């Protein structure tokens, strides 16, 4: 079946040859692909799985921040003992990576305001807050922390910690049970997980931004 072909059509001939090869490859792949590819987690090598993590910077940084919240000591009144009970053997706050209670505000990133705040104590609390390193969060624990509670009408009580420091999460109750405090901590952790992280590089990024 050998037929002499004109010279100018030689290129075409080669092309059809190529087409056939490509078609054959397609057929091979098609023959192989009768079933969907399983999830990579199922067949990827275990060592590879441990070493590669695909995520965004936001998620990574937020995860690191929320998983080890260290508390500063700010325990003016009754709620302190519910906090201590939370740190105690039964409720065990170390499950959330925060069993370390720091006496120095410079080593802490969470302030749990356990108790009534009086005007005499307010400057000290503000000072502790100012000394904490960024990023920092505040949980107002108890009715006194949220609004002054039953002492709100007193001449010496600050009606709520949010007059003095910005509060992220309010945990009501007089005093809140340890479960309530743990729920508040989880809420704060969820809040941190949603935060967007601005990373400031020490040098400006060069290169053009991709259009689109």
Partner 1 sequence: MTVSLSGTEVAKQIASQFPEAIAESSNQAVVVKTEYLLKVAEFLKNSPDFDFNYLNDMTAADYYDYFEVVFQLSSLNLNHKLMLKTRCYERLKPAVPSVCCLWRGAELMEREIYDLMGITFTGHPNLKRIVLWEGFQGHPLRKDYL
Partner 2 sequence: MTIKTEPFVINFGPAHPSTHGVFRMRVVLDGEVVLDLEPVYGYLHRGIEKLAEQRTYTGIIPLTDRLDYLAAMSNNLAHCIAVEKLAGIKVPERAEYLRVILAELQRLCSHLIAVGAFLNDSGAFMTPILYMLREREKILDLFEMLSGQRLTYNDMRPGGVSQDAPEEFLPALHKFVDQMPRYLDEYDQLLAKNEILLARSKGVGILSKELAINSSASGPVLRASGVKWDIRKAEPYSIYDRFEFEIPTGTAGDCYDRYLVRMLEMRQSVRIIEQAMKQFPSGEYRSRVPKLIRPPVGEVYSRIEAPKGELAFYIVSDSSIAPYRYHIRGTSLINLTALRDMIVGWKVADLIVIFGSIDICMGEVDR
- Closer CB to partner 1, residue 155 or residue 203? 155
Binding partner of 75, given partner 1, partner 2, none, CB within 5-8 angstroms per partner class: partner 2
CA torsion 177-179-180-186 (nearest 10°) is 150
Terminal C-alpha separation, the chain: 54
Cβ atoms of 151 and 117 within 8 Å: the answer is no
- Closer CB to partner 2, residue 65 or residue 102? 102
- Closer CB to partner 1, residue 16 or residue 156? 156
Binding partner of 82, given partner 1, partner 2, none, CB within 5-8 angstroms per partner class: partner 2
Residues 161-190 that bind partner 2 (CB under 8 A): 174-175, 177
30 binds partner 1, rule: CB under 8 A: no
Q: Which residues pair with 170 in a beta bridge?
A: 140
Residues 114-133 that bind partner 1 (CB under 8 A): 119-120
Tell me the angle at which helices 57-67 and 178-193 cross, rounded to the nearest 10 degrees. 160
CA torsion 81-83-84-87 (nearest 10°) is 160
147 binds partner 2, rule: CB under 8 A: no
Cβ atoms of 58 and 196 within 8 Å: the answer is yes
Taking CB under 8 A as the binding criterion, the range among 39-47, 60-68, 153-161, 196-204 that sits at the site for partner 2 is 153-161
Residues 68-127 that bind partner 2 (CB under 8 A): 73-78, 80-82, 84-85, 88-90, 101, 103, 115-116, 118, 120-121, 124-125
Cβ atoms of 141 and 186 within 8 Å: the answer is no
Q: Where are the beta strands (DSSP E) in the chain?
A: 71-72, 101-102, 110-114, 137-141, 169-171
Q: Which residues pair with 141 in a beta bridge?
A: 114, 171
Closest contact distance (angstroms) between CB of 97 and partner 2 is: 17
Query: Would you tell me which residues interact with partner 2 (CB under 8 A)?
Result: 73-78, 80-82, 84-85, 88-90, 101, 103, 115-116, 118, 120-121, 124-125, 128, 150-151, 153-157, 174-175, 177
């Amino acid at each position: 079946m050998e037929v002499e072909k004109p010279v100018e059509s030689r290129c075409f001939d080669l092309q059809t040859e190529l087409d056939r090869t490509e078609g054959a490859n397609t057929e091979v792949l098609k023959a192989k692909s009768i079933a969907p590819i399983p999830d990579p987690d199922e067949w990827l090598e275990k060592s590879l799985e441990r070493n590669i993590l695909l995520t965004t910077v936001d998620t990574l940084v937020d995860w690191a921040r929320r998983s080890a919240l260290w508390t500063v000591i700010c325990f003016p009144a009754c709620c302190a003992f519910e906090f201590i009970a939370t740190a105690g053997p039964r409720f065990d706050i170390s499950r959330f990576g925060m069993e370390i209670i720091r006496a120095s505000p410079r080593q802490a990133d969470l302030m749990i305001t356990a108790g009534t705040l009086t005007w005499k104590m307010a400057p000290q609390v503000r000072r502790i807050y100012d000394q904490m390193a960024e990023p920092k969060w505040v949980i107002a624990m108890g009715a006194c922390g949220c609004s002054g509670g039953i002492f709100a009408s007193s001449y010496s009580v600050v009606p709520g910690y949010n007059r003095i420091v910005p509060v992220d999460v309010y945990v009501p109750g007089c005093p809140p049970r340890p479960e309530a405090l743990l729920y508040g901590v989880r809420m704060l952790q969820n809040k941190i997980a949603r935060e967007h992280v601005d990373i400031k590089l020490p040098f400006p990024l060069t290169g053009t931004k991709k259009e689109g």
